[in-house]
Amino acid sequence: MPRQELEYFLKIINKKYHKPINFDVILVTGTYGKTTTSHYLNLLIQKLTNLKIGLFSKPHITSITERIRINYNPIPQQIFEEYKTFIEDINNEYNIGLNWFDKLVATAILYFIDEKVELAIFEIGIGGLNDSTNAMNSIINIITNISLEHTDILGKTIKKIAQQKAGIIKNKSIVITNTSKGLNIIKDRCNQTNSDLYILKKFVKIKRISTNFPHYTYRIQLDNKHYTLKFQSYYLVENFSIALLASLIYTKNITKDINLENKDLQEIINSLNVPLKLQTFKHKNKEIIIDTAKDYSSLMKLFKELLKNQKDFDVILSFSKGKEIKLIKKIFLLLISNNIRIYLTEHSIEEKKMGIDQLMENLNKIMSESEKNKLIKHVEIIPPIKDRQSLYDILETTNKNHIVITGSLYFVSEIYNLLQETPIKHK
């Protein structure tokens, strides 16, 4: 198990090199939203305190060093390479068996120890209980939400996935969540560990004020204060609200006089570059919308929001392994029922991608004849998109003015980097 292997690594580091973990740890997990929640939390606590803060998050878009930051500055490439070599040597010498992700976590921990950070925020990789980030003793544990994801690893039910997420909760810690699914599992774990539970909706009231797609204005009420704030995506408000609550809980014993204003919070929201979240690009008379939604819940939210505000679109989809076929079927039927054409393809990460042939075979097993006929009419299988021209060719075939690219973080990142290489005007 990755957690046990990293625990062994940390024991070696402490015993041989006298490098104990000497900073507070906040862990952030959840089916979706944990990345932006982690980044918002970092920026908020920096605003409220003078602490030296480490951040470990995923994914990276252009450079792997984006995953490891101190005071929001990425680790220098040369220092990253030095830690990489050092960790690889220990891994081989003691035959620990750290995988690629574990080594990244180890790099972040060592960097934060050596640089004497006072607080480190770690985004969980997968699940929680057995994740390598869970080798540390966290004082605050954030579970953004729970729905079906990575069912091949975490289990095929909400209960099993919730048990994995709740596995990050330590004795006498603080737990903050926005989930309704699996909440009883979290409550039970809090009781077992004598931990304090904060359910977001009991402390924060969120109301949408206006929509100018894809921009949204919300009123957030917390501690008898009201903040009217603008977000570039409809679901960022929940992530921000979780981070805001967590930052105030953490800093209440550090900064006695907290006086946040609208302009302060809006500045933080604006300072966070959130690529791949309803991000738009122009090509001729067409608009490309890319989004990192990848699990059933976030994809359904995305498409329902688009159908409500932007009905004139088709979709390019690529999935990674671990997705439930019955949930993919529901997504397809929602799109098909709204006359949306689906272009289905594969991304290039061989060990992660879901093969189209297997996907279609499994869909056909659980679909009725009428559903299969609709699938044939509305789904087109296309080759992997390896260059800009192949993407533009698809744009030419659709009669819609917008095309949405989503389904897998790996896929969306590939498309994003293709678009970044062009002189396309970025809105």
* 95 and 32 within one domain: yes
Please measure the distance between the N-terminal and C-terminal CA atoms of the chain and give it in whole angstroms.
44
Environment class of 36 (CB within 10 Å of its CB; exposed 0-12, middle 13-18, buried 19+): buried
What's residue 191's pLDDT?
A: 98
pLDDT greater than 80 at residue 374: yes
* 257 and 150 within one domain: yes
* 322 and 236 within one domain: no
Q: What pLDDT, in 10s, does the model give residues 82-102?
A: 999 999 999 999 999 999 999
* 314 and 256 within one domain: no
Q: Are 31 and 146 in contact (CB under 8 A)?
A: yes
What's residue 424's pLDDT?
A: 38
Residue 168: helix, strand or coil by DSSP? coil
Residues 18-37 have a mean pLDDT of 94
Least confident range from 18-27, 80-89, 132-141, 209-218: namely 209-218
427 domain-assigned: no
65 domain-assigned: yes
Give the domain CATH number at 321: 3.90.190.20
* 102 and 216 within one domain: yes
Residues paired with residue 114 on neighbouring β-strands, in sequence order: none
Which residue, 219, 244, 271, sits at the end of a domain?
Answer: 271
Strand order in the sheet with 215-222: 204-212, 215-222, 225-231
- H or E element at residue 287: strand 286-290
Beta-carbon neighbour count of residue 222 at 10 Å?
17
Q: What pLDDT, in 10s, does the model give residues 137-164?
A: 999 999 999 887 776 778 879 999 999 9
Domain of 262? 2-271
Beta-carbon neighbour count of residue 340 at 10 Å?
20
* Total tally of structural domains belonging to the chain: 2
The chain-wide mean pLDDT, for the chain, equals 91
* 357 and 228 within one domain: no
* 77 and 8 within one domain: yes
* 37 and 54 within one domain: yes
377 domain-assigned: yes
The number of helix segments (H) and strand segments (E) in the chain equals 16, 17
Q: What pLDDT, in 10s, does the model give residues 302-325?
A: 999 899 887 799 999 999 887 889
pLDDT greater than 50 at residue 119: yes
pTM above 0.85, yes or no: yes
426 domain-assigned: no
Give the domain CATH number at 152: 3.40.1190.10
Q: In sequence order, what E strands does 125-195 have? A: 140-143, 174-177
Length of the chain: 427
